[in-house]
Chains A and B, each alone.
Chain A
Amino acid sequence: MATALSYDPVSSPPVATSGNEVVRVLVVDDDPAYRHLCKRYLSRNDETTYEVVTVANAADAYEQCEKSDFDCILIDYVLPDLMGTQVIRNLGLRMPKEIPPTIIMTAGSGEIAATDAVRAGATDFLSKGVVSAESLARAINNAVEKGRLKQSVNKHGRDLQDANKQLQAKNDEIQRFYQSVSHEVKTPLAAAREFVAIVLDGVAGPVTDEQKEILQYALESCDQITSHFNDLVEMTRLDAAKITMKKTLGSLDSVVTRCLASMASAVKAKELNLITEIETPLPMLHIDSNRVIQVLSNLLGNAIKYTDPGGQITLDISHRTSKRAVQISVTDTGCGIPEKDLPQVFGRLYQVGNTGDELMGAGLGLGLTIAKEIVALHDGEIWAESELGTGSSFVFSLPVAQSIFSEPEIHQ
C-alpha cells in the first residue's frame, strides 16, 4: 500500500475533509500523463470534491496562483527549466500573502529530494512511483489541514501582539491620567496649605493662640492628605512599574549613601544614635536603585518616626551566602509592634494602635505596602520582627546578581 512520505517525525493521522468542502488543487508537472493521472485519481474521491487545475511549467503556475486561490499545490521536483523547490521559493516571493501548502512529487526515491523539499518549505513530499488515489488524497488532505493549523497559529500570534499593543497603550493612558489627576489635586492642596500657613504665621494679621492651634491642626491635615495621596499615586504607578522597572547591575553603596544623607537631619533632630554595620565586600545586585532607595528610606523613616529621642537605629547589611542574597535590616529601639499585628504590617489597611500621640496620624500609611511590592518585583523577601517595649526589626533581602562566574563578589 503506497503511503506518503512525510518529513514530520510525529506523523499526523490522515484527516478527512468534510463532505461538502471543495479542495482546489494545482498540479505543476511537465509530464502530461501524470497530470492526467492526478486528475483522474482526485475525481474518483467520494469524500471530497477536488477541483483540479493542471499546468506544465512554472510560468503558468505563477499565473494561476495570481488568478485564484488554491488549497494545495502539487509540484514536480524536476521541471524543464527549474527545480520544483525553486518554484516554491519563487511563489513565496511573488505572492502577497502566505503560499498554500505544497507537496513536492518526485519520480525517483529520494532522500535528497526529501531534504530539499523540507529546506524549500514544502509541506510534504510524495514518491510518484508508489502513489495511489487514496494516498494522494490523504497527502493533500493532510497538507491542507497542516496549512490551516499554521494559519490559525499565525493569526493567534498576531492577535496576541495586537492585544499587547492595546494593553501598552491603555497602560500609558492610565499613567497619563494619574499624572494629570495628581497635578489637579496637589495644586489646590498646596495652595490651601500655604493660605493656612500664611494666616498661621501672622502674615495676614495678628492671630490668637487658640486660632494658631486650630490652624496648626488644619496644616497637619493638609500634610497627611499629601502623604497619603502620594502613596496612593505611587501604588498605581507600581502596577505600571511591573513593566517599566529599570534594573541594572550595581552595588548597594550609592543606595546606602543617598539614604543616609537624606535621613541625616531627621536623625540628628531626634538625637538618635544611627549605627551602620555593613559587610564588605558585598556582591553585585540586579536592582532598580531608585526603588531600592525608596524601600530603605521608608524603613529608616519609620524607625526614626517610631523611636523616642535618644534611642538607637541600626542598619545592618550582610551577604547571606547560603541564600544567595544580600540581607538589609533596620532595627530600632522603639515601642515595638504587637505580635498579633506582625503578619498584617505590610497590608494596606494596617494602622498602628495607640501611640499615645493622636496627632501622629493614621498609622504607617502605604509605605510598607509599596516597599513590599518593590521587594517582590526584585524577587526578594521582606519581613518584620518585633518585641513590644524593646523595638522592631524590618528586614528585606535582594537576590545576588546571577553571573557566569561562580564567584560573584567584587571587591570594593
Chain B
Amino acid sequence: MKTVLLVEDDKKITLAIGIRLKSMGYEVATAADAVSAVAQARKCKPDVVLLDINLPGGDGFLVAERLQSLMQTSATPIIFITASKQEGLKKRAMELGAVAFLEKPFDATQLADAIEMSLYAPSSFGDEAMQTAQ
C-alpha cells in the first residue's frame, strides 16, 4: 500500500484530506510544520508528499529543497498545495520540480489525479502536469 505524507498545519484540512486519502486506499502520515515534515519523511519514506506552502517554521518550498537534498527522499515526488493565489508560487513550485500544484479548495478528483500521476508517471513533470492538476 502506498504512503502519502501530508504536510499541513490546519487540523481540519488535515482531517478532511486524511479521510479522503484513506478512502482512496492510501496509508497516511502527517506532519504539521516544516521541521517535523522532514523528520517524518525520513522515518516513513512516503511514496508521495502533499506539501502545503504555508507552514509554521519555514515554508513548503524550504521543506521541498531539504527533502531533495537528502538521499532517502531526493526522488520522492512532491505535490504542493496552497490557499494563496499569489503569482510566482506556481512558477517556483515548477522550478523545484514539483509534480503538481493544487489550489485550495480542490476536489477529490484533482487530488486523485495528481497523486496517481506522481506515483505512476513521475517523469511527466512540468507544464502539462501543472495544467491538468488545475
Contact = CB atoms under 8 A, between A and B. Distances in A.
Interface residues of A, number: 26
A230 B54 CA distance: 18
A187 B83 contact: yes
Contacts of A222: 105
B131 A262 contact: yes
Contact of B84 (A183, A204, A223): A183
Given A187-B13, A191-B10, A191-B13, A198 B20 contact: yes
B12 A201 contact: no
Contacts of A187: 10, 12-13, 83, 104
B75 to A, nearest CB: 29
Contacts of B19: 198, 203-204
A203 B23 CA distance: 6
Interface string B84-95: 111100000000
Chain B interface helix/strand/loop/mixed: loop
A303 to B, nearest CB: 19
B72 interface: no
A191 B86 CA distance: 20
A239 to B, nearest CB: 16
Interface string B16-48: 110110010000000000000000000000000
Interface in A177-206: 179, 182-183, 186-191, 193-195, 197-198, 201, 203-204
Interface of A: 179, 182-183, 186-191, 193-195, 197-198, 201, 203-204, 222-223, 226, 230, 233-234, 261-262, 290
10 contacts: A179-B86, A183-B83, A183-B84, A187-B104, A190-B106, A191-B13, A191-B15, A194-B20, A226-B105, A290-B87
Contacts of B12: 187-188, 191, 195
Nearest to A203: B23
A194 B17 contact: yes
A194 B134 contact: no
Contacts of A179: 84, 86
B91 to A, nearest CB: 10
Contact of A182 (B84, B87, B107): B84
Nearest to B23: A203
B83 A201 contact: no
Contact of A197 (B85, B87, B108): B108
B85 A195 contact: no
A237 to B, nearest CB: 9
A218 B117 CA distance: 30
Contacts of A197: 20, 107-108
A198 B105 contact: no
Contacts of B13: 187, 190-191, 194
Given A190-B16, A191-B12, 16 more contacts: A183-B54, A183-B83, A188-B10, A188-B12, A190-B13, A190-B104, A191-B10, A194-B13, A194-B16, A194-B105, A197-B20, A198-B16, A204-B19, A223-B105, A234-B85, A261-B131
Nearest to A186: B83
A329 to B, nearest CB: 25
Contacts of B10: 187-188, 191
Nearest to B15: A191
Given A183-B54, A262-B134, A190 B83 contact: yes
Interface in B106-134: 106-108, 131, 134
